[in-house]
Structure 1
């Protein structure tokens, strides 16, 4: 995708979470090539350092986005190194299959901790710095926020919450001149798809690893770059996601009818299958442990 005349990311100061791999890493490289100044947050330090080198020795920090104190400190440090902030991309997220009945509740807790609280903490820390006429926040949600599949309840719930956070923040920042976008992606060619959804249980439902087929990452990164340059309200990839979003109830009914045959067997598999999180997570105290 070529940017429109007058639209450019050159000179923008951009903070990206989840930047060690996948969407975050690819976006950092492309924005740097387009003249943006990027700063990176993530968990995998060796991968982050490599991406940073490829982005002109961009500043980076280890950061568990589910830890508010870490987010506050890391964002402040990187904003100081950048000399300000124009854009924050709240991209960090995890996925892991979960049968809602009989599954491990820790999966739900961890997923919400990263995908919802992590996005909130990121926006809370970066928000004051982007609250200006050229400011922009992009929240990475998912088609899963609109169309919900069996075994993906934790992930879908978290991405629906991200969508809500984006829609709310858009109203709350409007008076500052800053804008807010929400990205909706189907299954892209990333570890999120292959590790998070490419399980035996998923195959038992749909006969293959994904519902719609894996789409290339490149067009999604082009779309995000364009969204940042234009401060767009919505980003989709592949293109057909934009067609599905307005017809959520119909799409949900089609999914429910077409996938119901294999669900019982898939649930049996999922309750014993060792499916990993898409990115290994640091151990956080569970709520009951913190209150003890």
Structure 2
């Protein structure tokens, strides 16, 4: 992949310790990029960096901590050079009925997925302006196909999508491109953990067939890295989400109709309760906050 436009470029990936972030790092390195990996779990980040075929930095930082991001950016500039692309991938999730949700936990999902993305963009925009670079916001089908029991995650991803659209228009005169990645169910710790909770598993199982399918993280990473190479304004992973996006106004009524039938049956069979942070990445975020 030496002919990739990403070869010898510095690229930042947040949430890179595992899952889709780690898969993105591997795919970007395969195309010759130098990687700056940001996230919790320093040992896990270092393990990912060590396995890459190109130079990589592993930097432990919380994307909601502006000073930590600034320190990370300074280190990246010194050791790898100014980034040509930034992938805002860091994200957490929780599920369960909104009425039973601890609002501090709900707010944390917004803080990481939306505010953390904005802080990431704000920190690295001077570099992207210098390099006429590219910023990719990892969003989700949840940005326009909101589901019950996932209110914080859906709200955060819809907000991240809107943020990216606004940012794109603002930085275009500076030669910076901004893209949004609409990602469906991906085989990560977070999604596998969600499937351990009966109500979330049942909700996914009752989605239309294409929407309930889970995709390998390495495959999704390939789709997203191709978007980085081509500076796409949108990438759909998988491609059929483009059709769903066109008809996004029809999705909330469909979700409402199905939920009215499905949720009462599920509630009669089991008790709905908050899931807490989903996946190893979510639990690492919990631990990091407790230690601060």
Count of residue correspondences: 282
Structure with greater helix percent? 2
Distance 1:271 1:104, change over 3 A: farther
* Kept in 2: contact 1:206–1:259 (CA 8 A): no
Match of 1:290 in 2: none
266-275 vs 32-41, which deviates more? 266-275
| Structure 2 residue runs without a partner (length 5+) | none
Alignment of 1:6-17 (within 5 A): 8-17=5-14
The alignment partner of 1:11 has SS state of coil
In 1: Cα distance, 2:5 partner to 2:78 partner: 23
Note if contact 1:132-1:178 (Cα within 8 Å) is conserved in structure 2: no
Q: Distance in 1 between matches of 2:169 and 2:195?
A: 34
Pairing 1:1-292 to 2, within 5 Å after superposition: 8-55=5-52, 56-132=54-130, 134-196=132-194, 198-205=196-203, 207=205, 212-264=212-264, 266=266, 271-272=272-273, 274-278=275-279, 279-280=282-283, 281-282=285-286, 284=289
**Is the CA contact (8 Å cut-off) linking 2:94 and 2:276 kept in structure 1?**
yes
User: Does the 8 Å contact 2:92/2:277 carry over to 1?
Assistant: no
Distance (whole Å) between structure 2 residues aligned to residue 255 and residue 197 of structure 1: 19
Residue-by-residue CA offset, 1:22-48 (whole Å, 9 max, x unaligned): 111011111111111111001011110
Higher deviation after alignment, 136-145 or 95-104: 95-104
Q: How many angstroms apart in 1 are the aligned matches of 2:78 and 2:265?
A: 53
What is the distance in 1 between the residues matched to 2:188 and 2:267? 25
Give the whole-Å Cα distance in 2 for the aligned partners of 1:257 and 1:94.
28
Shift of 1:193: 1.3
Query: CA RMSD of the aligned region, Å?
Result: 2.4
Distance 1:83 1:128 in 2: 13
Q: 1:271 Cα deviation (Å)?
A: 4.7
User: Does 251-260 or 84-93 show the bigger shift?
Assistant: 251-260
Structure 1: gaps (5+ residues): 286-292
Residue 43 of structure 2: SS of its match in structure 1? helix
Deviation at 1:197, TM superposition (A): 5.0
TM-score of the aligned structures, taking structure 1 as reference length = 0.88
Name the SS of the counterpart of 1:66 in structure 2. coil
CA distance 1:271–1:66, shift in 2 (3 Å) = farther
* Deviation beyond 6 Å, 4+ runs, structure 1: none
Conserved 8 A contact 1:163-1:182 = yes
Instruction: Pick closer, same or farther for the CA change 1:152–1:189 going to 2, 3 Å.
Output: same
The TM-score, its normalising length taken from structure 2, stands at 0.88
For residue 182 of structure 1, report the CA deviation from its aligned partner: 0.5
Identify if the C-alpha distance between structure 1 residues 86 and 214 changes in structure 2 by more than 3 Å, giving closer, same or farther: same
